[in-house]
Chains A and B, each alone.
Chain A
Amino acid sequence: MTPEDRESTSVATLDPGPDKVIGPGHDFGTVTDEISGVVLRPFLKTPKQMFIGFACAFLLVNLLLVAVTWLFVRGVGIWGIVIPIAWGFAIVNFVWWIGIGHAGTLISAILLLLKQDWRTSINRFSEAMTLFAVACAGMFPILHLGRPWLAYWLIPYPNTMWLWPQPRSPLIWDVFAVSTYATVSLIFWFTGLIPDLATMRDKAGNPIAQRIFGLLAMGWRGSAKHWARYQKAYLLLAGLSTPLVVSVHSVVSFDFSVSIVPGWHTTIFPPYFVAGAIYSGFAMVLTLAIPVRRWYHLEDLITMRHIECMAKVMLGTGLIVAYGYAMEAFMAWYSGEQYERYAFYNRMWAGGYWWTYWLLILCNILIPQLLWSRRVRLNILSVFLISLVVNVGMWLERFVIVVTSLTRDFVPSSWGMYYPTVWDWATYAGTIGLFLSLMFLFIRGLPAISIFEIREVVHQEETVHAHGD
């Protein structure tokens, strides 16, 4: 770093308000310094909230390790799952986590294709969120297998038993969908990082950090020829990820809707699951971005415009989800089918879980309506609280779908109730800890905002000013 650099970093971090995607007074150098400064600052200069947050999250990771070890020793019987409710928390959490991941791909791919300028400050961050959420999601079906060490049987490979997976089953589609999604999310995220890793390499003072960043940047030098191919590849990735993200949650919904269980067997499931996934994902991006923006003083890069746009997407997808709930109930009534009708009667009034349904309506439909008000959207605390409420609501939605439907199926003699045990909660809380730990490490170790794309935003702003005034 030259002395010149240090001077130029002194741009005040001001939130430019809900109309701008970037604070005033920034140039290529200052945005680079501000974002890379988060990573390159000395270890002890890390905001103390990060230490406290990571310590709490890491405690939960240890809880996860204990819970999983005990699971491997004793088997799935330590959970509350019984027949007929064989899916329980494992599948609730699987669907919840993978749904959260979807906002990341939506922000990085779909909003890129739609040329939304407000995606730039939050895309890297949300892609990382996708990656870690999918990691948490992917664990659950495997832990739920009973014999998790045989998970590789899900993959078609030549074996001495001459057995093959059943490709007509949505559960096998899920294996392909989720593993493709995890791989594509990883390479999309890493491709976006390459130019920024080169920046980190060139800016890092510490020789070890320089080596690591240099190795990961693979010799990127910003050549115009490289950028040309890079942009094509990035655009193609975005174009391919867009249908992929829709397909993944559709396939997840097929796990339910292809079966004949009342309350699952519904054609509206794929679009309603995809909308729900985006809804919960945006809620999670807000839940994470709001504190980080404050701790690291990034208000000039993640502005109120970003927060407001995300709040609007949350409101919009929330309404699609509300339509889904209404249609589910309407079709149950309109079908005239007694099992379908009973499933809804049970969901709303009769069964032991009626309160989860109304809590879900409160969290997912009623409270988010506050976002119609611009004052609420521009109040950072209220947006944060609503995002937490939506996270809870979307988890409850999956609980209602998975558990309530299974408790009462066709034959009353096979009815039952599901009560989560302490190990169910420990595993769930443990994955939240894992997710947050990975997020904390990511924010500390890699540029959490895409630097080169912010430079493009700076350039655009400059061009607009030059021609507009």
Chain B
Amino acid sequence: MHTATEISGHVGLYGLMAEFDQPEPLLEAAHRARAEGYRNMDAYAPMPMEGLAEAIGFRTDWVQRLVFIAGLLGATGGFTLCWWMTVIAYPHNVAGRPLNSWPAYVAITFECMVLLACLTAVIGMLALNGLPQPYHPVFNVPQFARASRDRFFLCIEAADPKFDIDDTRAFLEGLNPREVVEVAP
């Protein structure tokens, strides 16, 4: 265990980052880092990789929850709008049919559900990801420009309770990366 002073010794550092050539070693490294007891870390890849988020111990259900709620709200709102327009705001007798002619509202109800759910999926995803984010320390690493091309990175953050500049570096070196670099905050 580290004392508070030891952790504060790393204030000038966001974390340590290991660079890999291929996706499989990154996945392996993420699993090993988690098994080693690291919690505050993130993996970076140029494409989605199956099992990578789980490997760093990340789970989220919020996107689908938000979308479900938004879909319900959209459908309710769409139906209520139609009902209110035809029954309350502008009642208009069409061939003696009931004012609340609900089958005719299905299309608008459906469209409102899809619209609200889709907007929530995208805006919710971005918000949960903390985007747009103009600055992030990982971009201080010059090699990181290739994280969007063909390189794979694992970053163990200095905020992790188990982080120790020497031990963590030794651990990352042991994973056989191309390189281990320090990330300025």
| A residues lining the B interface (CB < 8 Å) | 5, 27-29, 32, 156, 162-168, 170, 172-173, 176-177, 180, 183-184, 187-188, 190-191, 195, 198-199, 201-203, 218-233, 236-237, 240-241, 243-244, 247, 251, 254, 452-453, 455-456, 459
Nearest residue (CB) in A for B128 is: A229
- Least Cβ–Cβ distance between A307 and chain B, in angstroms: 25
B150 touching A202, Cβ below 8 Å: no
A–B complex contacts, Cβ < 8 Å, 25 sampled: A28-B47, A32-B149, A162-B89, A166-B86, A167-B81, A168-B104, A180-B111, A198-B148, A218-B133, A219-B132, A219-B133, A224-B43, A224-B56, A225-B53, A225-B56, A226-B129, A228-B52, A232-B64, A233-B63, A237-B121, A237-B122, A243-B114, A244-B111, A452-B46, A456-B47
B44 touching A236, Cβ below 8 Å: no
A27 contact set on B, CB distance < 8 A? 150
| B residues lining the A interface (CB < 8 Å) | 23, 30, 42-49, 52-53, 55-56, 58, 60, 62-64, 67, 71, 78, 81-82, 85-86, 89-90, 92, 94, 101, 104-105, 107-108, 110-112, 114-115, 117-119, 121-122, 124-126, 128-129, 131-136, 138-139, 144-150
A184 contact set on B, CB distance < 8 A? 114-115, 118
Q: How far is the CA of A156 from the CA of B111 in the complex (A)?
A: 14
Q: How far is the CA of A5 from the CA of B148 in the complex (A)?
A: 13
| Contact for A229 among B85, B125, B148, B150, CB less than 8 A | B125
- Whether A199 touches B89, Cβ cut-off 8 Å, given contacts A228-B53, A230-B125, is no
B58 contact set on A, CB distance < 8 A? 224-225, 228
| Contact for A164 among B49, B89, B125, CB less than 8 A | B89
B85 contact set on A, CB distance < 8 A? 156, 164-165, 167
| Contact for A232 among B63, B132, B139, CB less than 8 A | B63
- Least Cβ–Cβ distance between A119 and chain B, in angstroms: 16
A254 contact set on B, CB distance < 8 A? 107
A176 touching B107, Cβ below 8 Å: yes
B118 contact set on A, CB distance < 8 A? 183-184, 187-188, 236-237, 240-241
A177 touching B150, Cβ below 8 Å: no
Which has the most chain B C-beta neighbours within 10 Å: A32, A170, A227, A456?
A: A227
A176 touching B112, Cβ below 8 Å: yes
Nearest residue (CB) in B for A219 is: B133
Nearest residue (CB) in A for B155 is: A223
- Least Cβ–Cβ distance between B125 and chain A, in angstroms: 4
Q: Top 3 nearest A-B pairs by Cβ distance?
A: A218-B132, A28-B150, A233-B125
Q: How far is the CA of A226 from the CA of B82 in the complex (A)?
A: 38
A236 touching B47, Cβ below 8 Å: no
B108 touching A173, Cβ below 8 Å: yes
B129 contact set on A, CB distance < 8 A? 223, 225-226, 229-230
Q: How far is the CA of A165 from the CA of B10 in the complex (A)?
A: 64
B47 touching A221, Cβ below 8 Å: no
B86 touching A168, Cβ below 8 Å: yes
B131 touching A220, Cβ below 8 Å: yes
- Whether A222 touches B82, Cβ cut-off 8 Å, given contacts A232-B63, A233-B121, is no
A187 touching B60, Cβ below 8 Å: no
B63 touching A156, Cβ below 8 Å: no
- Whether A162 touches B131, Cβ cut-off 8 Å, given contacts A218-B126, A224-B53, is no
B81 touching A156, Cβ below 8 Å: yes
Which has the most chain B C-beta neighbours within 10 Å: A173, A203, A225?
A: A225
B128 touching A203, Cβ below 8 Å: no
B125 touching A222, Cβ below 8 Å: no
Q: How far is the CA of A100 from the CA of B163 in the complex (A)?
A: 56
A162 touching B47, Cβ below 8 Å: no
B60 touching A459, Cβ below 8 Å: no
| Contact for B108 among A28, A176, A222, A228, CB less than 8 A | A176
- Whether A28 touches B46, Cβ cut-off 8 Å, given contacts A167-B86, A228-B53, A233-B63, is yes
Q: How far is the CA of A226 from the CA of B89 in the complex (A)?
A: 45
Q: How far is the CA of A229 from the CA of B61 in the complex (A)?
A: 8
Nearest residue (CB) in A for B97 is: A168
Contacts A184-B114, A228-B52, A233-B125 supplied; 17 other A-B pairs, CB < 8 Å: A176-B78, A176-B111, A184-B115, A203-B145, A221-B144, A222-B46, A223-B42, A224-B30, A224-B52, A227-B52, A229-B63, A233-B63, A236-B64, A247-B110, A452-B46, A455-B46, A459-B23
